[in-house]
Amino acid sequence: MLRTGLFLKLLGSYLALVVLCAAFFGFYQQSWMLRESERSCDRLLASRSRFLADLCSHEFEAGQDLSRTCSRIERACKELGVRFALIDAEGSILADSSSGAPLGSPSDLRSTEVSVRGPSGEPLMMRVSIGNPDLDEELAALWSNVLVVGGFAFLLAGMFGYIVAKQLAGPIDAIKSAATVVASGDYRARVDIRSGDELGELGQAFNRMASELGRRMETITTDRNKLLTILGGMVEGVIAIDAQERVLHLNAVAARWLGASREAAAGQLIWEVTRKVEVCEALAQALTNRDEVHEEIVLVDSREDQILELVAAPLLDSRGESAGAVVVLHDVTKLRKLEVVRSDFVANVSHELKTPLTVILGAVETMLDDEESMPKEIRQRFLKKVLEQSHRLSSLVSDLLVLSRVESATRSQDFTKVDLRKILAQSMQGLLPVAEKKSICFEEQSPESAAVLVGDPEALRQVVDNLLDNALKYSESGERVTARISRSGDRIRFEVEDTGIGIAPQEQQRIFERFYRIDKARSRKLGGTGLGLSIVKHIVLAHGGKIGVDSAPGRGSTFHVEFPATA
């Protein structure tokens, strides 16, 4: 579209220039004509005033009276196109030819005064005036010509100005349209200006700029998408704010932890997005002090409190000024729980090791102090205690080694197909003497078809042994322990049911923890280390299975394990 402001300005400038030039020419010509008219009048006035003065002097010298002389001079003035007035020494007008032929506008008359002698020789003053009666017509003709020529020049300038304005405004309008397209985000816009002047160079520079801008924006967009993908895939929560504490970015993890909406958070103040004071204060501190902030915060949840490690750092611009801040939230809940578990484990291991060592140390010191006088029976009793506690230490160390191995092991490539019925038969055969000694009914219920799964035979034997051994330990004489194997679809289920003392509901979730005992005194009396069920749990999980317990106080317990079956 060529009728832009620039086009109209260019065309208007050309036309205004023509008008100004025509007006200047007209006024210049008018001024020149006026000056030439004045010069011509002055020359005529000088010659004709001398002629009239000589005529007047000649008439008076010839003896003519004043009236006849004035009449003759008046006739001469009409022929010469001038006016005259004869004035005496007192200023009185003796004669005046103002009623003669018109000389033009009174303001345009040129006058001069010459001295003459009157009839009696008295001094008189003759005033002669001359004008140009055709001057107004000449000026009118001048302006008429100026208007005609100026109008013609106006038309020519209009056509020429239209062409030039079109050539100038067209490329600029094309650049403006292309710039508008580029500003809207389409960097493919180009201008086609083939002239070799500055406009052509401007068009080429614009095309290079658009191409480079498109390339850089594509790079920025790619980098931004990569960054958003990385931030979106992070397990840490990330929040970024600008210098006015308005949210620039909030990834999904941070939004979930803080209970905020990612879409609604953009552009809002951080205090409006989350009411978590520690997060807001850490960002404000990093923004104000331009220093990193490290601390831990706790998110209170209805199910479980969450511990987050918070690291806030300032964002600086190219000048080193603070442009915002970013905070990274890392969930350390599991780590802190592991630290507690580790601490508890160390404490439990120390306690479990200390008890038998104390007994052994006490017994040995007693025997050494009373080496000569101690009766043989007492010495044997002390040595028996040392042996018992040594066996207890050996069992504890063995269980710890087994637990360490099953916790750190992954699914082994040496797993083979195992028939769980055979493992159960071997375990029951080995524990049958214990059941007979306590008069416990020891039963097995297995399917006729094979119960085959892929696993470590030794580890599976330890699972079966531990569950059966626990059931026998906590069952009294005359009670029953039943081991059964069943298959349902692609799962093999192994159960150990007893009719012993049972387990309270609040204890059932903790019995698989290391060193956890419901009745510590009875467990130690029975020789338990508190690691058996924890070992069973880790072995089952390593085989892709799951373990659980159904129990009630006074009604016995049923431990059940499920494994994925194989053909």
Report the pLDDT value the prediction gives residue 364, as an integer from 0 to 100: 83
What stretch of H or E contains 274? none
pLDDT level of residue 261 (50, 70, 90 thresholds):
confident
Cβ proximity of 473 and 511 under 8 Å: no
Cβ proximity of 111 and 128 under 8 Å: yes
Burial of 507 (0-12, 13-18, 19+ CB in 10 A): middle
Share of the chain above pLDDT 70, in %: 86
pLDDT in tens, 417-464: 889 899 999 988 988 888 888 888 888 888 888 888 888 888 888 888
**Residue 380 pLDDT exceeds 60:** yes
Strand locations in 52-164 (E): 82-87, 93-96, 110-117, 123-130
> What is the average pLDDT value for the chain, to the nearest integer?
79
CB count in 10 Å sphere of residue 299: 18
Cβ proximity of 236 and 250 under 8 Å: no
Q: Provide the 3-class DSSP secondary structure of residue 496.
A: strand
More confident residue, 521 or 235: 235
What stretch of H or E contains 240? strand 237-242
What stretch of H or E contains 420? helix 420-437
d(CA 166, CA 170): 5
Structural domains present in the chain: 1-135 (3.30.450), 236-328 (3.30.450.20), 337-396 (1.10.287.130), 412-564 (3.30.565.10)
More confident residue, 395 or 358: 358
First to last CA, the chain: 81
pLDDT level of residue 124 (50, 70, 90 thresholds):
confident
Burial of 513 (0-12, 13-18, 19+ CB in 10 A): middle
Per-residue pLDDT, averaged over 197-213, amounts to 83
Residues linked to residue 450 through DSSP beta bridges, in sequence order: none
DSSP-H helix ranges across 62-83: 66-80
Burial of 139 (0-12, 13-18, 19+ CB in 10 A): middle
pLDDT in tens, 462-510: 888 888 988 888 888 888 899 999 988 888 999 999 988 888 887 877 7
Phi first, then psi: give them for residue 485, nearest 5 degrees.
Answer: -125, 135
Which of 392, 318, 308, 322 is CA-nearest to residue 351? 392
Per-residue pLDDT, averaged over 380-384, amounts to 84
Which has the minimum average pLDDT: 30-34, 96-100, 210-214, 265-269? 96-100
d(CA 424, CA 416): 17
Residue linked to tokens 């097995």: 444
More confident residue, 328 or 306: 328
